[in-house]
């Protein structure tokens, strides 16, 4: 029986989970009161449930349904998270009890981040003493069906810009920044560039840039920061911006605001047009792309 572990960093199920979530990230240390207030305020500002939690659960159900239509043998998809329940070790244990003999690890990240890499390694370590097959779905950032999803999202946002300003509209791709280290950054940056380049080529976008978020004011982190880049490009004549996140298929609360309302405020200040490309999320085309990626990873029957 085949089991897919669909992984994300963390997915609070309610406002009650927010503080335990960040306490787990800080390895058991409760965040200071001012940090707790800031974190809670950000989640409340959503005015909705955590999008990552909602999306990943629906993706797992949709992916399982899509794969069952294409495979003869039984397939089940499980959600697993690093910093919220259900945790990776508990999910793997459940899968073993369910009789899974082939484990496929599939992260929410199209590019190989440090978190995605650690997830693959953790599952392998847990299953090292078990007589099972472990397959890691890696390097799928240029999958043709996935590129079609991103092309659709970017093209729609770009074409939303006024026709007369499209030539001066710039697409700003983003991923979370990380401390600069040539060895650790190499695969991350290379896959990021390859994905952004492939999307831009498919969507026929000429003005596009790699930027990073969560790096503003941090010395020794990957840049340029997306917000700084907006000011620079505006000074060079940019009349519109489209933002597109490439680290995760689904929005988390941090990326939701950083490339959304926070960038929109800057565009209002600069008096230029703005559109955020939709995340692939739990849409039909995303689920079909993930099914194709899983099928490519499974040896032929």
Q: DSSP per residue over 114-133, as a string? A: HHHHHHHHHHHHHHTTSS-E
Q: How confident is the model at residue 78 (pLDDT cuts 50, 70, 90)?
A: very high
pLDDT (0 to 100) of residue 215: 81
Q: Could you tell me what percentage of the chain is helix, strand and coil, using 3-state DSSP and rounding each to the nearest 5?
A: 50, 15, 35
Query: 205-246 pLDDT, tens per residue?
Result: 999 999 999 987 788 999 999 999 999 999 999 999 999 999
Query: 254-296 pLDDT, tens per residue?
Result: 999 999 999 999 999 999 999 999 999 999 999 999 999 999 9
Query: 49-70 pLDDT, tens per residue?
Result: 999 999 999 999 999 999 999 8
pLDDT (0 to 100) of residue 165: 96
pLDDT (0 to 100) of residue 10: 94
pLDDT (0 to 100) of residue 216: 73
* Cα–Cα distance, 5 to 91 (Å, whole number): 8
Q: Please provide the average confidence, as pLDDT, over all residues in the chain.
A: 95
Neighbours of 186 (CB within 10 A): 10
Mean pLDDT of 106-133: 96
């Amino acid at each position: 029986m085949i089991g897919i572990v669909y992984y994300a960093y963390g997915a609070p199920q309610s406002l009650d989970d927010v503080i335990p979530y960040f306490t787990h990230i800080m390895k058991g240390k409760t965040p200071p009161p001012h940090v707790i207030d800031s974190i809670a305020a950000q989640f409340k500002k959503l005015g909705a449930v955590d999008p990552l939690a909602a999306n990943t659960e629906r993706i797992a159900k949709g992916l399982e349904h899509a794969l069952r239509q294409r495979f003869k043998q039984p397939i089940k998809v499980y959600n697993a998270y690093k910093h919220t329940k259900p945790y990776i070790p508990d999910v793997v244990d459940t899968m073993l009890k369910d009789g899974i003999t082939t484990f496929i690890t599939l992260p929410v990240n199209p590019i190989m981040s440090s978190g995605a890499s650690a997830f693959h390694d953790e599952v392998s370590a847990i299953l090292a003493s078990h007589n099972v097959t472990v397959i890691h779905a890696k390097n799928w950032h240029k999958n043709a069906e996935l590129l079609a999803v991103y092309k659709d999202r970017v093209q729609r946002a770009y074409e939303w810009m006024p026709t007369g300003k499209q030539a001066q509209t710039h697409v700003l791709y983003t991923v979370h920044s990380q401390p600069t280290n040539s060895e650790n950054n190499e695969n991350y940056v290379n896959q990021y560039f390859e994905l952004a380049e492939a999307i831009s080529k498919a969507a026929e976008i000429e003005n596009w840039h790699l930027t990073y978020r969560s790096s503003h004011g941090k010395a020794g982190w990957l840049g340029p920061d997306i917000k700084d880049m907006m000011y620079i490009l505006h000074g060079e004549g940019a009349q519109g911006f489209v933002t597109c996140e490439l680290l995760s298929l689904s929005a988390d609360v941090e990326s939701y605001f950083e490339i959304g309302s926070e960038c929109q405020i800057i565009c209002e200040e600069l008096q230029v047009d703005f559109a955020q490309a939709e995340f692939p999320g739990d849409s039909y085309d995303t689920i079909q792309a993930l099914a194709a990626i899983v099928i490519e990873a499974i040896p032929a029957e």
